[in-house]
Chains A and B, each alone.
Chain A
Amino acid sequence: MISARVVRWLDDRLGTASFAKNALRKAFPDHWSFMIGEVALYSFLILIATGTFLTFFFDASSTPVVYRGAYTPLAGATVSTAYDSALRISFQVHAGLLFRQVHHWTALVFLAAIVAHMARIFFTGAFRRPRELNWLIGTTLLILAIADGFTGYSLPDDLLSGTGVRIAYSALLSVPFVGGWAAFLFFGGAYPTTETLRRFFSLHILIVPAAIAGALVLHLAMIWRQKHTQFAGPGRTESNVVGSPLWPVYAMRSLSIGLVTAAVVVLLGGLVQINPIWLYGPYQAWVVSSPAQPDWYVGWADGALRLFPGVSPRVFGHPIPSPFWPLLIIGIFFICVYLWPFIERAVSKDGAEHHLLDRPWQSPWRATVGVAVLSATLVLTLAGSDDVQARYLHVAVEYLAWIYRIAFFVAPAVLGFATYWLCRELGAREREHLAGESPWETVRRTPQGGFDGERERV
Chain B
Amino acid sequence: MSAAVRWANILFAGSLLASLGFMAAYIASAPNLVLGACLGLALAGLGIGVAVWSKGVMPPEEVVDQREAFSSGPSARTEAEEELLAGEAAIGRNRFVAGLAVAAAGTCGVAALFPIRSLGQNPGSTLLHTAWRNGRRAVTAEGVPVKASSMVLGDVLTVFPEGHTDDVNAATLLVRLNPNLLQLPPERSAWVPGGIIGFSKICTHAGCPVGLYRQTANQLLCPCHQSTFDVLHGARVIFGPAVKPLPQLPLLVDAGGYVQASSDFSEPVGPESWGSTS
- Interface positions of A (Cβ within 8 A of B): 25-27, 94-95, 97-98, 101-102, 130, 163, 166-167, 169-171, 173-177, 179-181, 183-185, 187-193, 195, 199, 226-227, 235, 238-245, 248-249, 252-253, 255-264, 266-271, 284-292, 302, 305-312, 317-323, 355, 386-387, 397-398, 401
* B224 close to chain A: CB less than 8 A: yes
Is there an interface contact between A174 and B48, defined as CB atoms closer than 8 Å? no
Chain A to chain B contacts (Cβ below 8 Å), 22 pairs: A26-B63, A27-B65, A102-B36, A179-B275, A180-B124, A227-B65, A244-B61, A252-B58, A253-B54, A256-B50, A256-B51, A257-B51, A263-B46, A268-B40, A269-B32, A271-B40, A286-B141, A286-B168, A290-B212, A306-B225, A307-B241, A318-B275
Closest to B26 in A: A95
Contacts of A98 in B (CB 8 A): 32, 35-36, 39
Closest to B204 in A: A321
A94: contacting residue among B29, B119, B274, CB under 8 A: B29
A288, chain B: closest CB distance, angstroms = 4
* B176 close to chain A: CB less than 8 A: no
Mark the stretch among B99-107, B131-139, B177-185, B265-273 that contacts chain A.
B265-273
Closest to B212 in A: A290
Contacts of A27 in B (CB 8 A): 62-65
Is there an interface contact between B224 and A292, defined as CB atoms closer than 8 Å? yes
Is there an interface contact between B44 and A263, defined as CB atoms closer than 8 Å? yes
A39, chain B: closest CB distance, angstroms = 12
Other A-B pairs, 19, CB within 8 Å; known A102-B36, A264-B40, A284-B168 = A173-B123, A174-B273, A174-B274, A180-B275, A190-B126, A238-B67, A252-B54, A256-B50, A259-B43, A259-B44, A259-B47, A261-B47, A267-B36, A270-B34, A285-B209, A307-B241, A310-B237, A318-B274, A322-B205
Give the CA-CA distance A401 to B61 in the complex, in Å.
54
Is there an interface contact between B60 and A249, defined as CB atoms closer than 8 Å? yes
* B158 close to chain A: CB less than 8 A: yes
Contacts of B26 in A (CB 8 A): 94-95
Closest to B116 in A: A185
Closest to A239 in B: B67
* B92 close to chain A: CB less than 8 A: no
Is there an interface contact between A270 and B242, defined as CB atoms closer than 8 Å? no
* B72 close to chain A: CB less than 8 A: no
Q: Which of B102-122 contact A (CB under 8 A)?
A: 116, 119-122
* B277 close to chain A: CB less than 8 A: yes
A249: contacting residue among B58, B65, B126, B271, CB under 8 A: B58
Is there an interface contact between A286 and B58, defined as CB atoms closer than 8 Å? no
Q: Which of B38-83 contact A (CB under 8 A)?
A: 39-44, 46-48, 50-51, 53-55, 58, 60-67, 70
Give the CA-CA distance A238 to B34 in the complex, in Å.
51
Is there an interface contact between B65 and A292, defined as CB atoms closer than 8 Å? no
Closest to A246 in B: B63
Closest to A64 in B: B166
* B145 close to chain A: CB less than 8 A: no
Contacts of B224 in A (CB 8 A): 163, 167, 288, 292, 302, 305
Give the CA-CA distance A310 to B44 in the complex, in Å.
49
* B171 close to chain A: CB less than 8 A: yes
Contacts of A226 in B (CB 8 A): 70
Give the CA-CA distance A290 to B225 in the complex, in Å.
11
Contacts of B169 in A (CB 8 A): 191, 285
Is there an interface contact between A398 and B35, defined as CB atoms closer than 8 Å? no
